[in-house]
Amino acid sequence: MYQSFYTGALGAGTCMAKMGIISNNLANINNDGYKPKTAVFSDLMNFNLNDSETAVTELMSGNGVRMQRTYTHFDVSAMGQTTSPCDFAIADENAFFMVQDPATGAITYTRSGSFHKGQWQDGYYLTTATGKLVLDQNGEPLEAETPDIEKLIAMLDEDYEEEEEEEEEDEEIDEDKPRLSVYTFSNPSHLLSVGDNEYAAPAGMEPVLVNNPKIIPCALERSGVDLSKEMVRMIECQRAYSYALKMVTTADEVENTINSLRG
């Protein structure tokens, strides 16, 4: 009977944790660049009834479930046009801008391209809303003077052509010029959320530069939260929570009945 208490209470606790994730997704439904998270559960120890431990039967009992981790979907969401030349949207899945904290030097990654021109001692640089520097293909801060922003947008335009033809040597040098770049990972689901729509790569995960990325200027990627899906998940979670509590209540009633029979 104690197992029933434990399993029901554990189920109610996991439902509350899942409800917290759903509520966080709903709270960020209007947050540009936000990617929804999904709870991943795993079964605790299961064992056979009236048979050996290794036997596979239809009569199984378990100790409930636990929330193993949260999974973030890095799919491409809807795009919205803006009037700011510093806004950029990524049209590739599992691709991120690389940004750096100027105070600590920590590197993080984000799909939110709502950037600004931040003034530093040696000029203007492309920064995030929290003041982090946007890095180029060489891992260096990207300058953001007005002509540089215009060049960045022109480089992203497929119809852009240079006015004058340059020599081959000059073209090789141009390839090394700073440009807005995005990075990807072999397993993006292992990225760690650090807040502000930013993610950190754990030890051993190396970013890979994306060649010819699809970056849309003067646009922002909207939140990836699907209201209808989140509402369905919320209803499922509420019902599962009520069933888990009902299991605890039933186990308590059975225990009280047994104690009353014992006199």
172-218 pLDDT, tens digit each: 445 667 888 999 998 888 888 888 889 999 988 899 999 888 999 99
Q: What angle do CA 116, 117, 120 make, to 5 degrees?
A: 130
Amino acid at 22: I
Please say whether the dihedral angle defined by the alpha carbons of residues 205, 207, 210 and 214, taken in this order, is positive or negative.
Answer: positive
Please give the distance of CA 92 from its chain centroid, rounded to a whole number: 15
First-to-final CA distance of the chain: 18
The ranges of the chain with pLDDT < 70 are 1-2, 42-65, 145-176, 263
Query: 233: Cβ–Cβ under 8 A, 6 or more apart, which residues?
Result: 18, 22
Within 10 Å of residue 229's Cβ, how many Cβ atoms? Answer: 13
Q: What is the pLDDT of residue 182?
A: 92
Q: What is the pLDDT of residue 56?
A: 64
Q: What is the pLDDT of residue 71?
A: 80
Q: What is the pLDDT of residue 145?
A: 66
Q: What is the pLDDT of residue 245?
A: 86
